[in-house]
Structure 1
Amino acid sequence: MKVLILTYGSRGDVEPYVALGLGLEAHGHDVVLATSRRFQGFVEAHGLRFGPLSDALLAILDTDQGKALLEKGGGLFQVVKSSLEMWRQLKPLQQALIQECWEVARAFDPEIIVYHSKAAAAPSIADKLGCACVLATPVPMHVPTRAFRFAILPRLPLGGWVNKASYGLTNGVVKRVFGPLIQDFRGSLDLPAIKSYEPLTRSDGSDIPVLHGFSEVVLPRPEDWPESAHVTGYWFLPDDADWTPPDALAAFLAAGRPPVYVGFGSMSVRQPETLARLSVEALVAAGVRGILASGWGALKAEDLPENVLLIKEAPHSWLFPKMAAIVHHGGAGTTAAALRAGKPSLVVPFFGDQPFWGARVHAIGAGPKPIPRGKLTAGRLAAALRVMTQSQEMRERAAEIGALISNEDGVAVARGLIESAGAGPARR
């Protein structure tokens, strides 16, 4: 079966889909993964064929305006407000991205499209090509439920009806933003207009299967979800067991007790040295060794104490199990890796779905209450570090969760569902 995977965003929006692609290829399927050009080397290094999409939308986050948005944090309303302010700049880039997705799909002619929600035109592309499509997402942001709110909304304990209503509110914003773009795109393909853009249904009214790439250990599947919505387990890449660490990292790990990892992934900030200094102060105050990962945020630290090491990056699957605890931004992929490692973790959310995952980590007992980036101080971080490294109960609970997640095979479950969807009635 020819499978096109369309995804877009940060490393956390790409890596799980590479894992899906590898799982599909291992079972004889022909796979192309399309995403931004900055990830071409990453995709091809894993042996998958690459479909090029522009970096232009991601580059917005590298500007001072984009970094300011990340630093402000906030939930949906802050994101919507900032996005509307930037819409004049974003709209032509989004239109170009839709066209690029179409060009890749037209050239490959897939039998099924597996897509991230940011590839909103995928169902229309599937209509034009006469193929199946499946929405695959690491975040529960699309299917309404009474069990929990839309993932990027503030946590408001107002009951199930409010939770479910939150999806109508946010999906209404999505429809208003993407609807005109999708209608214009369908017109350019000579496809019939649709009454309105519905993210969960095809133009013929049929439900789009939705695969959620997280574990029920972390977030149980809601009872009120339709049959078309699935929870598969996390989509992990094969372990980097053969990865060789730099000499400095190997020596640091061997020189003392397991350190605490502190890293914020792709969260670019305007003053990374401030965040680094705060982190070092907290590590020293808590009396623990630490590893600072610079990541995309270019985290910098000068004149580090000997109990703290600065690294550029290391595979989470290799590094995290060697840590005493993990401090991170709460991206879906990093959260998954930290939980699988079986170590307590503290989430310092910046924006989007990160507060949601931070709350889940705390709720299942695998870490302290999250500290939003805007409220992070050396004192608060040091206190959380002491809890994670000294609480026997938290360490045991994190280890229990890690073992449960390690026994799951989310890629295999998702592959089976994709194969079932692709084997449905031919549309050609």
Structure 2
Amino acid sequence: MKITIITIGSRGDVQPFVALGMGLVQVGYEVTICTSDRFESWIRERGLHYAYMNDHLLQITETDAGRAAIESGGNPLSLLQQVKPIIRQMLDEAWVAAQGTEAIIYHPKALSGYHIAEKLGIPLFMSLPLPLYTPTRAFPNPLFPDLHLGGWFNQLTYKILPLLTAPYMGVVNQWREDVLKLPDRSWRMSEQVRKNGQRVPVLYSYSPHVVPRPEDWSDQAIATGYWFLDSQEDWQPPADLVEFLAAGPAPVYVGFGSMAGRHPEQVTQIVIEALRRSEQRGVIATGWGGMVASDLPENVFQLKAVPHDWLFPQVAAVVHHGGAGTTAAGLRAGKPTVICPFFGDQPFWGRRVLELGVGPKPIPQKKLTVQGLADAIREAIDHQKYYQRAIELGEKIRAEDGVGQAVDWISDRLKASD
């Protein structure tokens, strides 16, 4: 059976689907991943088929305008006119990629998956690493602040969520008419409900130990456990990094992925000075388009990227922006965590780290200071409660088989649909 996975975004939006795809291949499915072409060789190296999608959206986030949008809170309206033709192109490319497929798994950011499955009349699964699309009274939608107003407010935030895609519905509906020959779809019509009124199955690729399953969830949603993709067996770390790690106490990892706003140099200097004041060695990950470092002190090592599953078990604590993937890797390694969120779901993961007792209160990037970060690093390392709870949570996460549970869940529903 042929399955097409459609996703878009940074490596953190693609890597879990590569892990899932490999799990599906192991039980006999033929899997193609349609995503940005910057990930093509990496996907093919893992034994999966690749289908083309352009890289323009990611390139925009690396421009000054894109950084400004991130720094201002990720408001898509500031780049809407520039982004609309790119979205149309991505929709067209996903449609080409899906020809001949028999089921679709999609990240909702890619916009196309639901509509293609509707046209082809095939099974579909939505998937993402945060509980965004399943209403509950237990907590508000992760993209909204937790105002502690109770269950009525929490449920309301899920009804409001479709407003976030409303600016793009004109592009999507024009594409539905031109290419799929389907009628318009209102932004009020959630992609989680099909024409027959049935809910679309949703796989959340995070651990229920991190976000427990709410009692009022639909049976069409599951938190499977994380979908980790470990480094390949033949991967070797840089020799100078190995030497640095061996030369002293375990360092603090600091990395903000592709995000450092319009002032990456300023953010980097805050990090370096905070490490000095907290008297910690550090490993700084610059990422692509992230922090910029030069003239580093001897107690700080700079790298562009390294597999988290290799590095994190060797550090004292992890400091990052709160991306779902980096949060998962740090918790799996059993390390205290300091989250410095920009926007989106990052504040949600910061709150979860605090509530789980595995790290101090998150520091929003707009409030990031040398002293504030230094204090948070010291608190994360010196507080015995964080250390012990992080170890215990890491053990629970490592005992899970998220990919295996997801593969079983998908297979059961595909068999039932035959």
Same fold (TM over 0.5): yes
Q: 1:151 aligns with which of 130, 142, 145?
A: 142
Instruction: Quote the offset at 1:342 in angstroms.
Output: 0.2
Is 1:84 the counterpart of 2:77? The answer is yes
Instruction: Quote the offset at 1:42 in angstroms.
Output: 2.0
Q: 1:280 aligns with which of 269, 272, 282?
A: 272
Q: Tell me what 1:421 maps to.
A: 413
Is 1:384 the counterpart of 2:361? The answer is no
CA pair 358-32 structure 1, distance change in 2 beyond 3 A: same
What amino acid maps onto 2:313 in structure 1?
P
Instruction: Quote the offset at 1:404 in angstroms.
Output: 0.3
How far apart, CA to CA, are the structure 2 residues paired with 1:202 and 1:330? 32
What amino acid maps onto 1:68 in structure 2?
A
Instruction: Quote the offset at 1:240 in angstroms.
Output: 4.5
What amino acid maps onto 2:131 in structure 1?
P
Q: Tell me what 1:16 maps to.
A: 16
CA pair 386-268 structure 1, distance change in 2 beyond 3 A: closer
Map Cα deviations across residues 168-212 of structure 1 (whole Å, 9 max, x no partner). Answer: 1122443x3344334333323454426634210223322210011
Q: Tell me what 2:258 maps to.
A: 266
Instruction: Quote the offset at 1:124 in angstroms.
Output: 2.0
How far apart, CA to CA, are the structure 1 residues paired with 2:364 and 2:257? 15
Q: Tell me what 1:122 maps to.
A: 113
Instruction: Quote the offset at 1:257 in angstroms.
Output: 0.8
The alignment covers a number of residue pairs equal to: 416
CA pair 421-285 structure 1, distance change in 2 beyond 3 A: same
How far apart, CA to CA, are the structure 2 residues paired with 1:211 and 1:51? 22
What amino acid maps onto 1:105 in structure 2?
A
Higher relative CO (CA 8 A, sep ≥ 6), structure 1 or 2?
1
Instruction: Quote the offset at 1:374 in angstroms.
Output: 0.8
What amino acid maps onto 2:39 in structure 1?
F
Instruction: Quote the offset at 1:297 in angstroms.
Output: 2.8
Is 1:236 the counterpart of 2:228? The answer is yes
Q: Tell me what 1:193 maps to.
A: 183
How far apart, CA to CA, are the structure 1 residues paired with 2:278 and 2:51? 46
Q: Tell me what 1:38 maps to.
A: 38
How far apart, CA to CA, are the structure 2 residues paired with 1:184 and 1:72? 30
Is the 8 Å Cα contact of residues 61 and 67 (structure 1) preserved in structure 2? yes
Q: 1:222 aligns with which of 194, 214, 218?
A: 214
How far apart, CA to CA, are the structure 1 residues paired with 2:204 and 2:180? 32
How far apart, CA to CA, are the structure 1 residues paired with 2:169 and 2:123? 21
Q: 2:306 aligns with which of 291, 314, 337?
A: 314
Instruction: Quote the offset at 1:6 in angstroms.
Output: 0.4
Q: TM-score scaled to structure 1, two decimals?
A: 0.93
Listed as ranges, the gaps of 5+ residues in structure 2 are none
Q: TM-score scaled to structure 2, two decimals?
A: 0.96
Q: 2:361 aligns with which of 339, 355, 369?
A: 369
Q: Tell me what 1:64 maps to.
A: 64
CA pair 394-127 structure 1, distance change in 2 beyond 3 A: same
Is the 8 Å Cα contact of residues 253 and 315 (structure 2) preserved in structure 1? yes
Instruction: Quote the offset at 1:83 in angstroms.
Output: 1.6
Is the 8 Å Cα contact of residues 72 and 374 (structure 1) preserved in structure 2? no
Is 1:333 the counterpart of 2:325? The answer is yes
How far apart, CA to CA, are the structure 2 residues paired with 1:225 and 1:94? 32
Is 1:99 the counterpart of 2:92? The answer is yes
Is 1:254 the counterpart of 2:246? The answer is yes
CA pair 283-177 structure 1, distance change in 2 beyond 3 A: same
Q: Tell me what 1:411 maps to.
A: 403
What amino acid maps onto 2:170 in structure 1?
P
Q: CA RMSD in A?
A: 1.6
Map Cα deviations across residues 262-289 of structure 1 (whole Å, 9 max, x no partner). Answer: 0111214333221111111111111111
Is 1:299 the counterpart of 2:287? The answer is no
Deviating more after overlay: 187-196 vs 308-317 = 187-196
Is the 8 Å Cα contact of residues 380 and 386 (structure 2) preserved in structure 1? yes
Is the 8 Å Cα contact of residues 133 and 158 (structure 2) preserved in structure 1? yes
Instruction: Quote the offset at 1:334 in angstroms.
Output: 0.5
Is the 8 Å Cα contact of residues 111 and 422 (structure 1) preserved in structure 2? no
What amino acid maps onto 1:320 in structure 2?
F
What amino acid maps onto 1:258 in structure 2?
A
Listed as ranges, the gaps of 5+ residues in structure 1 are 74-78
How far apart, CA to CA, are the structure 2 residues paired with 1:359 and 1:188? 43
What amino acid maps onto 1:46 in structure 2?
R
How far apart, CA to CA, are the structure 1 residues paired with 2:346 and 2:382? 25
Q: Tell me what 1:76 maps to.
A: none
Is the 8 Å Cα contact of residues 69 and 78 (structure 2) preserved in structure 1? no
What amino acid maps onto 1:177 in structure 2?
P
Q: 1:181 aligns with which of 171, 191, 198?
A: 171
CA pair 425-393 structure 1, distance change in 2 beyond 3 A: closer
SS of alignment partner, residue 118 of structure 1: helix
Percent of pairs with identical residues: 46
CA pair 111-323 structure 1, distance change in 2 beyond 3 A: same
What amino acid maps onto 1:150 in structure 2?
N
Map Cα deviations across residues 81-112 of structure 1 (whole Å, 9 max, x no partner). Answer: x3223222222211211111101101xx1111
Q: Which runs of 4+ in 1 moved over 6 A?
A: none
Is the 8 Å Cα contact of residues 194 and 203 (structure 1) preserved in structure 2? no
Is the 8 Å Cα contact of residues 138 and 151 (structure 2) preserved in structure 1? yes
Deviating more after overlay: 83-92 vs 260-269 = 83-92
